[in-house]
Amino acid sequence: MTDELNMLSGRMPPKPTDEARARALAAAMQAYDSAAENSAATQGSARPARQSSILKRIWSPIMNRKLLAGSALATLIVVPAAAFLTLEFVGNNPLRQSEIQVAKAVPPPQPKPTTEERALAKANKREASGFAVSELPAGVTENETSTSQASDTAAAPSALGGVVGFAARGRMEVMPAPAVPSDILPPPMENRERFGNADANPVKNVATEPVSTFSVDVDTASYSFVRRSLMAGEMPPPDAVRVEEMVNYFPYEWTSPATAVEPFKATVTVTPTPWNAGTRLMHVAIKGYEVVQKEAPRANLVLLIDVSGSMDEPDKLPLLKNAFRLLVDRLKPDDTVSIVTYTGNAGTVLEPTSIKDKAKILAAIDTLQPGGSTAGAAGIDAAYQLAEKAFVKDGVNRILLATDGDFNVGPSSDEDLKRVVETKRRSGIFLSVLGFGRGNYNDALMQTIAQNGNGVAVYIDTLAEAQKTLVEEAGSSLFPIAKDVKLQVEFNPAAIAEYRLIGYETRALKREDFNNDRVDAGDIGSGHRVTAIYEVTPKGSPAVLNDDLRYATAEKPSANATANSGELAFLKIRYKKPDGEKSELIATPVTEVNAVPSLTDASADVRFSISVAAFGQKLAGNSALADYSYTAIADLAAGAKGADPFGYRGEFVNLVRLAKGLAGEQ
């Protein structure tokens, strides 16, 4: 028996005839279709069928549409789409994959036909086939070409890694395999987010630069953007981090002024620095007078809404509309609301309407739809005209610009729009900016508009943030109590060797700007809280970075310096009333009476704000915090959460922990 098997194994099987091959192929195709029709549809299939039939049903209707037939659009869109569909059907179909595996297992092709065999095949070819047998690839018979010609598709993938296609003269060739889907699909949308670029404030020598001057800032946009980035699993761009906006995001119980006569009160606390044992922190906290809701003046609000095509995202226009619904519910019956929209040009959607007619206002908000380009400057002009039309004397007149910042029609550069806003703010109308969305977010432009429009800039990433900004803190967002607020600190060189202002890089002013009432500065609203923190190096500390000047002449202390020798610094605040043009001054000395021996002796609000300042500096890549860990920041914040009725501080601790994980800190 073994000998017989060995003998049989050495014999070559007879070659199948062309007729037998054709019958086998036809029977296989019939069996495939019969099995598909009698079996349940596989997941994701509308009807079982051969891939060639599926492609034909999809391809034919598309190419027969008059809109695309013969156009360049068909070439750019439909052809790549068809190629992608072909790859999907062939690459992901388990049946096709099994065919490819079988093809790989087939023995090497038979030797090329002899000259006699070629001549016989050429004599027997059918003219209707359209092919010259002499042009066929080696090993391909006439029956195979007939079957290929009868196929439903003009080209099909081959086991050789290419596509079998037909040339204009009837030649059948192996074409290169189609590009992978990543080459066919359009490239991902370009990230056009833009942030201002400002280097961190340097350490300054008190002997040469004893005075620090800056404008207050009550914006909070940076914190919301940082939060959104971390929640999305990515570290924020360093330029997106503005430490003062992160610190000022949180509500603090700073000491309030007793009456509106003095619109705000300053509280100074000096503590040790948690990230540098050789320095101290001078913590300046300001709280604005809080207007009682029933005493709030009438409000004339113009909602300037970007409805351009870039706003067609769930976190843009839909979120914006819900945010303004919350605001409308917060306003008083005698307040008025107008709506201006802009795309390629500006248009008035709602004339000034009393909150008593709330249904009409909400209906106007509901009609907003995105589409078109962005003519932001035209929208700003139209909004100011509408605000002037409904101007309320001794009331609140404010434009709320809601946009992703993508201005691309008309004046669109920061400087152009700055000039537009500067010429309008003298009318007594404030302009605030509400930013929305990602990918197209132009933070730098919105900061420019808000800072020069006597307004604030916020970033709304969730409906909860809209609730915080437009409902819970509506007074500080809408009702100004002081404008052009400037701070100036003079450090005593006898006590302080160096200082560094944490944050406020984009708010720096010249020393002479402090007393110049023509220089614009920040504004404070009802109940606003402003926090500024200096890191100061005491005289004689080993942490001093600057060497003494070699050629400096020793000067005798002046009489004033001797009299004020117990002071660490002198704080001055200059401001104007909302309707005033002449500034007023508040001044207070800073002494050791303001100091606490350890950080734990400071209030929870002071400690928490310091933890936020540390977090912002670390995210921005400040080398001063290189050795201060995210864990230490989280622990400091967690120990100072206090009551936390809205959960803002608990959320912050979680964000620090997320940053720790993303940074790979152990």
Structure tokens at 605: 């609000």
Longest Cα–Cα distance in the chain? 126
Residue-wise pLDDT for 58-75, tens only, equals 444 444 444 444 444 444
Cβ atoms < 10 Å from Cβ of 647: 11
Residue-wise pLDDT for 582-630, tens only, equals 999 999 999 999 999 999 999 999 999 999 999 999 999 999 999 999 9
Give CA–CA dist 243/532, Å, rounded.
Answer: 10
Q: What is the pLDDT of residue 89?
A: 46
460 pLDDT more than 60? yes
Q: CA 644, 648, 653: angle at the middle one, nearest 5? A: 100
Give CA–CA dist 375/92, Å, rounded.
Answer: 46
158 pLDDT more than 80? no
Higher pLDDT among residues 473 and 138, named by residue: 473
Give CA–CA dist 183/179, Å, rounded.
Answer: 6
Residue-wise pLDDT for 359-416, tens only, equals 999 999 999 988 766 555 678 888 999 999 999 998 899 999 999 876 654 555 667 7
Long-range contacts, stretch 156-162, CB < 8 angstroms, 24+ apart: 156/52, 157/86, 157/90, 159/99, 159/100, 159/103, 159/104
Q: What is the pLDDT of residue 205?
A: 96
192 pLDDT more than 90? no
Cβ atoms < 10 Å from Cβ of 176: 9
Q: What is the pLDDT of residue 111?
A: 56
Higher pLDDT among residues 641 and 169, named by residue: 641
Higher pLDDT among residues 140 and 282, named by residue: 282
Looking at residue 263, what DSSP letter applies? -
Structure tokens at 342: 């802009």
Find the range with the poorest average confidence among 342-351, 422-431, 548-557, 645-654.
548-557
Q: CA 223, 224, 226: angle at the middle one, nearest 5? A: 65
Q: How many CA atoms lie within 13 A of 460 on its CB side?
A: 32
Residue 309 contacts residue 373 (beta carbons within 8 Å): yes
Cβ neighbours of residue 352 under 8 Å, at least 6 residues apart?
A: 300, 336, 337, 338, 386, 389, 390
Higher pLDDT among residues 115 and 521, named by residue: 521
49 pLDDT more than 50? no
Q: Are strands 457-459 and 430-435 parallel, antiparallel or unpaired?
A: parallel
Structure tokens at 636: 């400091």
Q: Are strands 522-525 and 480-491 parallel, antiparallel or unpaired?
A: antiparallel
Give CA–CA dist 584/661, Å, rounded.
Answer: 48
CA dihedral 388, 390, 391, 395 (to 10 degrees): -150
Task: Look at residues 222, 616, 247 and name the one whose alpha carbon lies nearest to residue 447.
Answer: 222
Q: What is the pLDDT of residue 292?
A: 76
Task: Look at residues 482, 421, 2 and name the one whose alpha carbon lies nearest to residue 264.
Answer: 482
Alpha helix segments (H runs only) across 313-431? 317-330, 358-366, 376-389, 414-425
Find the range with the poorest average confidence among 98-107, 230-239, 647-656.
98-107
SS (H, E, C) 293-311: HHHCCCEEEEEEEECCHHH
Any idea which residue has 């609301």 for tokens? 337
The pair phi, psi for residue 350, each rounded to 5°, is -145, 120
The chain-wide mean pLDDT, for the chain, equals: 78
Give CA–CA dist 260/216, Å, rounded.
Answer: 19
**Ranges 22-31, 239-248, 374-383, 451-460, most confident:** 239-248
Domains located in the chain, CATH noted: 204-291+485-541+565-663 (no CATH), 296-478 (3.40.50.410)
Residue 286 contacts residue 573 (beta carbons within 8 Å): yes
SS3 277: strand
Q: What is the pLDDT of residue 399?
A: 94
Beta bridge partners, 491, equal 569
Structure tokens at 47: 């009807």
Residue 377 contacts residue 411 (beta carbons within 8 Å): yes
Residue 631 contacts residue 665 (beta carbons within 8 Å): yes
Give CA–CA dist 404/443, Å, rounded.
Answer: 8
Structure tokens at 537: 């190096």
